[in-house]
């Protein structure tokens, strides 16, 4: 929806937050200042929309009528129209102006890692809001920094509002195997490449895969890729409706799937579950 579509009624959101902030910065520091840096992260004063407002807003109050007068709880914590928001965002919390790929001072180190990944790897978000009706399957959940993996840390995701980020969100999860292959963190030779058609002929394949937080030594595997080859359709998942079935992944459009091991060590020390 963008900044304009999410602008609450009665507020002016007719500017571009990044452009406005950068013009002030350049005017103060000089036009050549941006040439000195590879990346610029903008951090604004205010609350993080998905930690403070969720913890002290929608998780605390069941309806707008239960919210006390302004000032009794943190306001300006989220915005109306946010893809991660709920109906309570229509309250005073929706007054905050939100930038693109920016952070609030109340956000966390996991958010910084997440935003740097946008720039460094030219990748998008892989998140949604699976907690509102109709319930939908998450993108990559807590196992990837581009989804709720940016909320990990000691204390769990419900402590990510702590400033400084010494509890939740102090150590975000890493990238899932698909992304690590794409960005060159893992080479194709470190992954067992399997074919659906070949598996049908050979039977089960057995392999030992190391935890993804560990760089695989010579001869060891970081994961498994199974190509959905053969006659069309490649993805033979029965069609389903994600608005009616929360386990539905959407249209059957995939041409491979990956297998990896998440273990609570290293960057996955505080991932809230283990998964393959």
Distances (CA, A) of 95 to 83, 85, 209, 214: 16, 13, 48, 44
The DSSP code sequence of 215-266 is ---TT-BSEEEEE--SSSPS--PPP--TTT-TT--SSS--SEEEE-BB-SSG
Question: Which of 79-83, 99-103, 224-228 is predicted with the least confidence, judged by mean pLDDT?
Answer: 79-83
In total, the chain counts a number of residues equal to: 276
Give pLDDT tens digits for 133-162: 888 888 888 889 999 888 888 888 788 877
Average pLDDT, the chain: 78
Can you say whether the dihedral through the CA atoms of 39, 98, 170, 136 is positive or negative? negative
What pTM did the predictor assign? 0.76
Collapsing DSSP states into helix, strand and coil, what is residue 90?
helix
pLDDT at residue 12 in the model: 53
Q: Please tell me which residue, 157 or 86, carries the higher pLDDT value.
A: 157
- What are 160-166's contacts with CB under 8 Å, separation 24+? 160/48, 160/51, 160/108, 160/110, 161/48, 161/51, 161/52, 161/55, 161/106, 163/105, 163/106, 165/107, 165/108, 165/109, 165/110
The radius of gyration of the chain's CA atoms, rounded to the nearest angstrom, is 22
Task: State the average pLDDT over residues 119-135.
Answer: 86
For the segment 232-245, what is each residue's pLDDT rounded down to a tens digit?
A: 889 999 989 988 99
Instruction: Categorize the per-residue pLDDT at 76 as very low, low, confident or very high, splitting at 50, 70 and 90.
Output: very low
The answer, yes or no, to whether residue 181 has pLDDT greater than 70, is yes
pLDDT-derived band at 39 (thresholds 50, 70, 90) equals confident
Model confidence pLDDT, tens digit, residues 182-222: 999 999 999 999 999 999 999 999 999 999 999 999 889 99
Number of Cβ atoms within 10 Å of the Cβ of 185: 16
Least confident of 47-56, 145-154, 169-178, 225-234: 47-56
* Out of 25-29, 43-47, 102-106, 161-165, least confident range: 102-106
Whether the predicted pLDDT of 105 surpasses 80: no
Give me the pLDDT at residue 152, please.
85
Q: Which residue has the higher pLDDT, 56 or 77?
A: 56
Q: Is the pLDDT of residue 92 over 70?
A: no
Partners of residue 195 on adjacent β-strands: 227
The answer to whether 116 touches 39, Cβ cutoff 8 Å, is: yes
In the prediction, which pLDDT does 40 show? Answer: 80
Return d(Cα 12, Cα 7) in angstroms, integer: 7
């Amino acid at each position: 929806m963008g900044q304009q579509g999410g602008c609450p009624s009665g507020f002016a959101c007719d500017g571009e937050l990044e452009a406005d902030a950068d013009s002030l910065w350049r005017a103060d520091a000089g036009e050549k200042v941006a040439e000195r840096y590879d990346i610029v992260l903008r951090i604004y004063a205010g609350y993080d929309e998905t930690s403070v407002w969720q913890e002290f807003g929608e998780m605390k109050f069941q309806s707008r009528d239960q919210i006390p007068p302004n000032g009794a709880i943190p306001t300006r914590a989220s915005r109306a129209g946010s893809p991660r928001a709920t109906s309570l965002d229509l309250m005073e919390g929706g007054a905050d102006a939100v930038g693109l790929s920016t952070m609030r001072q109340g956000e966390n180190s996991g958010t910084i890692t997440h935003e740097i990944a946008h720039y460094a790897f030219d990748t998008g978000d892989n998140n949604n809001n699976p907690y509102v009706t109709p319930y939908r399957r998450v993108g990559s959940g807590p196992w990837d920094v581009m989804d709720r993996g940016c909320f990990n840390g000691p204390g769990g995701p419900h402590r990510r509002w702590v400033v400084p980020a010494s509890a939740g969100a102090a150590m975000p999860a890493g990238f899932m195997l698909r992304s690590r292959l794409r960005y060159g963190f893992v080479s194709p030779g470190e992954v067992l490449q399997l074919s659906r058609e070949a598996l049908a002929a050979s039977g089960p394949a057995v392999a030992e895969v190391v935890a993804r937080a560990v760089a695989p030594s010579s001869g060891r595997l970081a994961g498994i890729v199974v190509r959905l080859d053969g006659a069309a359709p490649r993805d033979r998942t029965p069609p389903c409706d994600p608005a009616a079935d929360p386990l539905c992944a959407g249209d059957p459009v995939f041409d491979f799937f990956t297998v990896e091991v998440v273990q609570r060590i290293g960057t996955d020390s505080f991932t809230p579950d283990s998964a393959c």
